[in-house]
Structure 1
């Protein structure tokens, strides 16, 4: 059960919280016949999102009372529709956070490459071994930056 009139109150008080979402075109991947969104492409909305809050009532209702097609026959069919719709919404918003996972994978590959070089008897400098990549997702509203003290020679 939701809070009566909360959405209306929030959207009137903070009109910028409501944004129309442009959904990327679906494309079949590898000829599998299943539709997937390519989240590696630029966000068609022109902005990124730090937080995603879902009103599940706004997902459940259209999945159980769809426009232009009959409602699901069973509870299991309804749950499948809800999962598909939820995944669709999350895919529209998830591109930014996928970069974090890709950076972790890239770091693992770098570490494996260093280990392979060392196993072949090659010397890898401490500077190369200890180099850390920088996560640009760390920049968020209100984050604190450390000021580095250094002198130019």
Structure 2
């Protein structure tokens, strides 16, 4: 869910924050790289819904490969900070589950 309008505020205040970076061009020199691991973990473990369920080792390898790729492209000079905030509180899980059921029901109709 995040903080409402936080990304927009950051982007407006620091326009160089949001740049397209490719492996061939490379980014400008970056001192610190901060990663929100929750998004990375989710995308690496649920990337393809048609795929057979991944084992824990495969999930970890995907996560490590993705982080390695980011580090190779961005090359942080001083700091790599990986933040994981744990699982959501029960109330948030219930709210998300309720929204999923509601949207699935609406899709059927």
TM-score (norm 2): 0.55
Aligned counterpart, 2:64? 83
Q: How many residues align?
A: 73
Aligned counterpart, 1:9? 5
Large movers: runs of 4+ above 6 Å: none
* Higher strand residue share: 2
Query: What are the equivalent positions in structure 2 for 1:1-153 lying under 5 Å apart?
Result: 4-6=1-3, 9-15=5-11, 16=15, 17-24=17-24, 44-67=25-48, 70=51, 73-94=54-75, 97=77
User: Is the contact made by 1:60 and 1:82 (CA closer than 8 Å) also made in structure 2?
Assistant: yes
Cα offset, 1:46, TM superposition: 4.8
Cα offset, 1:21, TM superposition: 2.0
Cα offset, 1:84, TM superposition: 0.5
| Structure 2 unaligned regions, length at least 5 | 78-109
| Structure 1 unaligned regions, length at least 5 | 25-43, 98-153
Cα offset, 1:10, TM superposition: 2.5
TM-score (norm 1): 0.41
* Higher helix residue share: 2
User: Is the contact made by 2:27 and 2:73 (CA closer than 8 Å) also made in structure 1?
Assistant: no
SS at match of 2:5: helix
- Cα 1:81–1:87 shift into 2, 3 Å: same
Q: Deviations over 1:9-53 (max 9, x none)?
A: 3321121222222123xxxxxxxxxxxxxxxxxxx1451111100
Provide the aligned C-alpha RMSD in A.
2.4
SS at match of 2:73: helix
